[in-house]
Amino acid sequence: MKNGSELKIGHRITYAWHEDALTVIINQRITSSQQMMLDAWFTAWLLVGGALGYAYTQSQGEEQNFLLICLAFWTFFAIRVLKVLAWRRVGKEMIRVNAEGMSIKNAFGNYGKAKFFIKSNIKRMEVLRRDPSKFMHNLDQSFWIMGGDSLQFNYLRSRFVLGKQLNERDAKALAQLFDKALRKFK
């Protein structure tokens, strides 16, 4: 293997070993049919917002106050859906492991703020176990949300997660890769 050459785990994870670091990119793209459903959902949401906005302009008194509250909630969820749309088009998790530690960045394109973890305080990388009978575990794996982390590690007294919506096989391979990198770079 040539130093810096790009390798893959599954369809979404690419990684490269460098002389002084391991870099991992987990892209967040979804299938074209899922992307079309997400786009249709957002379009329908915009139409609902337009109808609420029109009703607001035509109403008075208590009805107008009620519609204003509805529009506030509509705006909140419109922003959430817009964020997911952007995440699915250009989002990626960028992880770098070197002798000092590990940085994790949830990036929209290349924009995002990295969190840095000092290597000596990082404890074992583990795959999060999902119970298929639990509603929230299934919801976290849905394409219309950003959540659903697959790996966790302890850092000082807290737990941190990464690897959004990976299948179990890819998550295990990625955990092993991170453990290897944390041992390799001194």
Q: Give the domain ranges of the chain.
A: 6-29+90-184, 33-88
pLDDT of residue 123: 87
CA-CA-CA-CA torsion sign (61, 66, 72, 75)? negative
pLDDT of residue 3: 66
pLDDT of residue 75: 97
Task: For the domain covering 6-29+90-184, report its CATH number.
Answer: 2.30.29
* Residues, the chain: 186
Sheet of 114-118: strand order equals 6-9, 13-17, 21-27, 91-98, 101-108, 114-118
Token pair recorded at residue 68: 């204003």
- 3-class secondary-structure state, position 20: coil
pLDDT of residue 143: 81
Kind and range of the H or E run holding 155: strand 149-155
pLDDT of residue 125: 87
pLDDT of residue 2: 56
Amino acid (one-letter) located at 46: L
pLDDT of residue 173: 95
Low-confidence ranges of the chain (pLDDT < 70): 1-4, 137
pLDDT of residue 52: 97
pLDDT of residue 8: 94
- The reported pTM is 0.84
pLDDT of residue 33: 95
pLDDT of residue 128: 85
Question: For the chain, how big is the Rg over CA atoms in Å?
Answer: 21
